[in-house]
Amino acid sequence: GENVEQHPSTLSVQEGDSAVIKCTYSDSASNYFPWYKQELGKGPQLIIDIRSNVGEKKDQRIAVTLNKTAKHFSLHITETQPEDSAVYFCAASRPGGGNKLTFGTGTQLKVEL
Partner 1 sequence: NAGVTQTPKFQVLKTGQSMTLQCAQDMNHNSMYWYRQDPGMGLRLIYYSASEGTTDKGEVPNGYNVSRLNKREFSLRLESAAPSQTSVYFCASSEQGPPTDTQYFGPGTRLTVL
Binding site for partner 1 (CB under 8 A): 1, 4, 6, 9, 32, 34, 36, 41-46, 49, 51, 89, 93, 98-106
Q: Which residues pair with 34 in a beta bridge?
A: 49
Distance, in Å, from the CA atom of 43 to the CA atom of 35, rounded to the nearest integer, reads 13
Which residue's CB is nearer to partner 1, number 25 or number 89? 89
Q: Provide the minimum distance between the beta carbon of 107 and partner 1 in the complex, in angstroms, as a whole number.
A: 10
Shorter beta-carbon distance to partner 1: residue 51 or 58: 51
Polymer length in residues for the chain: 113
Inter-residue contact 54 to 74 (CB < 8 Å): no
Three-class secondary structure of residue 2 per DSSP? coil
Closer Cβ to partner 1, 37 or 80, answer by number? 37
Nearer to partner 1, 27 or 49 (CB): 49
Cβ 42 to partner 1, closest distance in Å? Answer: 6
Cα torsion angle, 100, 88, 8, 80, sign: positive
